[in-house]
Structure formats: structure tokens, C-alpha cells
Amino acid sequence: MKITCGIILEKPNGQILICHPTNAHKNSWSIPKGLNEDLEDFWETAKRELLEETSIDLNQFDYTMSEISRLFIYKNKRKCLKAFLVKLNDEEINKVKLECKSFVDDLFPEIDKFVWTSPEEALKLLHQTQVEAIQAGSELSDFG
């Protein structure tokens, strides 16, 4: 089973970041995430994918990270999600220009839109597996 690792990124005001994959249905949104590479630590995968898909380098910010303890299995059972909750502790994130550096077949960026939104609104737009991760993360945060 493939493992995709992602970050539920929360600003100090409680908003979380969701991304729209290029060429996906207009209502298809995701947390920043991607496949784990051989022998790569899950946290390292999640941070790498965040950087590639959004240009956010967590090394530049004050944050707290909580690992969500369980895996979330996709309905097709060929992939599962390992999620981390990252709470940013300052407003410096507002200065970042969100930009995807990861390209599909070297032709177009993986992600074409970014939105900071309330957790309630995100739950309406995300894949069920990611909804479950956010709901589990709500036990670690003030949102949900």
C-alpha cells in the first residue's frame, strides 16, 4: 500500500491551507501532501511535499507539530494518508507567496490554487480521507 504524507497547516487565526490540484474538478481540494519515497521518514516526506507544492519552508517559521497517530485508508485501499498537524505560532506566513514548484510531466504545476479557509469550510471541500484526518486533528487543536 502506498503512503501519502500530508500537513494540516493552521495559521494563528485558525484557518487551514487547502490546495487545488491542476486539472482536477473545481470542487476537488486537498491538504498539501505526496507520496513517501523509499526509506524517507514520514515527517520528512510531509515537509518536502509542503515545500514543493506551496513554497512554504517550515524551517523559516516558529511552529508546533503534532503527529496524528493513525493512518487514514482511502476507499480504493491502495493508498493511505499519514497526517501531521502544524500550528504556526506567528503571522510571518502571510508574507509567503504561495507557489507550486512541483510539475506534472514537466508541463504544468501539480497545484494551481491555494486557499486559507476555516476548518468547517475545508471539511466541505476535501476528500473523505482528509476530512477524517482533520477531524482526528481537531482533538489536538482548537478547530473542528
- Summarised one tens digit per residue, pLDDT across range 44-83 is 999 999 999 999 999 999 999 999 989 999 887 889 999 9
- Is the Cβ–Cβ distance between 50 and 88 less than 8 Å? no
Q: What is the pLDDT of residues 123-140, one digit of tens each?
A: 999 988 899 999 998 876
Q: Which of 10, 3, 4 is nearest to 134 (CA)?
A: 10
Beta strand 16-21 pairing with 111-117:
antiparallel
- Distance separating alpha carbons of residues 100 and 124, to the nearest angstrom: 23
